[in-house]
A = this chain, B = another copy of it.
Amino acid sequence: MRMTWQSSMNPLRAAGWLAVAGVLVFVDSAWAEEAASTLDTGDTAWILMSSAVVLLMTPALALFYAGMARSKNVLGTMMHSFFLMGLISVQWAVIGYTMAFGSDVGSFVGGFDYAFLAGVGGEPNPDLAETIPHSAFMAFQMMFAIITTALISGGFAERMRFSAFVIFSLLWATLVYAPVCHWVWGGGWIGSMGALDFAGGTVVHINSGVAALACAIVIGPRLGYPKEPMVPHNLTLTVIGAGLLWFGWFGFNAGSALASDGAAANAFVATHLAAATATLTWCLAEYVARGKASVLGAASGAVAGLVAITPGAGFVGPMSAIAIGAVVGPLCYYAVGLKQTLGYDDSLDAFGVHGVGGTWGALATGIFASAAVGGTDGLLYGNPGQMWPQVVSIVATASYSFAMTFAILKIVDALVGLRVADQDEITGLDLSQHGEVGYNL
């Protein structure tokens, strides 16, 4: 090995950035108008900390996924999550947030009122959350946009060109995530029709899971799949990731109460019990099918349970949460096997877990919702009508996500090519895309 260094500092580039900065400062000035505050410090503490732990879910996902990839792709797989903490955050500040939560345009998308975060400051915005700073609400939602986009990478892991990944992610977050988020939470048509989605069964999981399926289909299977064995290279990373995901999900779901109250506590409990139960039932399914429960199964079950309870966390009681978790374990265990039957390569099971688990969760919310918990009754509490908006929201999200993802992929493929060269795939993404290797032990 030899080492060299080429210095090519360009002062003009720095100057350019400063010029851009000048313009942006102008935007920041708009942002200072204040209203009478109804801010609650406890609620604010809870949402800020929830935002932080939801941010942590993205590196956690990097670990969870990277552990299942092969050694030569460990960094490339991590990059699919980590880089989006950069990309989607800026996208969200510039355009994503306002497209999701700006004033409603045709029930489909938000207007540009909050572009560049104009007007998103330290005072509460009572339309969105009464007792916490508007900027805290925006930050909390930002973390959702990041991880949703990152989840998709499970479908195209170990073979996508990095430049294609960057463009795809930017387009997807803008054209798919932001509108769907608006439909459900930003004042759009799905929320208006009464569909229940507490923390993102449709917006996050069905949306990303179905997108991952489209990716797996369009980009095609990994070289050698399914003949060559492609086994997880370091399950300790996957376990760390799963542990941190579980932790972060408390912020994700219980933080979605947007207050530090009984509703948050109930969502917290429901979240935990569904994850716990699905951990058990995925292991049980493995045991029944093969005679052995595995650690990867336990970690997968935990994530499946967390996915499934996401839409219902604030609407169902603890025993219902256990029921929801109990079903999703075996359901996803069998769903991840579908790819081998049907022939697509959803490499890290983003569709199998998030698409399928999210769909069950959205249905289950309609089944188990209880007015005593979250204000609305579901099927089991005598309100079968709740199933209709749930089904509509599932079908609409899945269709829109699939079609748009498909179209975006085709565009990106035409622009830069979706897939790395065969030789680069054999070498691995770490070296071919990023010029580095994961381990020199």
- Evaluate contact between A265 and B122: CB separation under 8 angstroms: yes
- Evaluate contact between B235 and A122: CB separation under 8 angstroms: no
- Evaluate contact between B86 and A277: CB separation under 8 angstroms: yes
A395 touches B (CB below 8 Å): no
A392 touches B (CB below 8 Å): no
| Neighbour of A319 across the interface among B39, B43, B117, B278, CB < 8 A | B117
Chain B residue contacts of A213, Cβ below 8 A: none
A1 touches B (CB below 8 Å): yes
| Neighbour of A260 across the interface among B48, B83, B121, B372, CB < 8 A | B48
With the chains together, A54 CA to B340 CA distance in Å?
39
Interface positions, chain A 207-257, Cβ under 8 Å from B, are 226-229, 231-237, 239-240, 242-244, 246-247, 250-251, 254
CB-CB contacts of A7-34 with B at 8 A, as 1s and 0s?
Answer: 1110001100110111011011101100
Question: What is the copy number of this chain in the assembly?
Answer: 3
Comparing A148-156, A294-302, A351-359, A405-413, the segment that makes contact with chain B is: A294-302
* Least CB distance, A37 to chain B, in whole angstroms: 8
With the chains together, A13 CA to B32 CA distance in Å?
58
A175 touches B (CB below 8 Å): no
A317 touches B (CB below 8 Å): yes
Comparing A70-78, A185-193, A197-205, the segment that makes contact with chain B is: A70-78
A428 touches B (CB below 8 Å): no
* Least CB distance, A376 to chain B, in whole angstroms: 13
- Evaluate contact between A136 and B24: CB separation under 8 angstroms: no
* Least CB distance, A384 to chain B, in whole angstroms: 14
Closest chain B residue to A338 by CB distance? B7
- Evaluate contact between A441 and B75: CB separation under 8 angstroms: no
A404 touches B (CB below 8 Å): no
Besides A233-B440, A234-B236, 11 more A-B contacts (Cβ < 8 Å) are: A24-B320, A42-B260, A48-B260, A82-B279, A86-B278, A139-B268, A232-B440, A236-B438, A294-B434, A296-B436, A439-B441
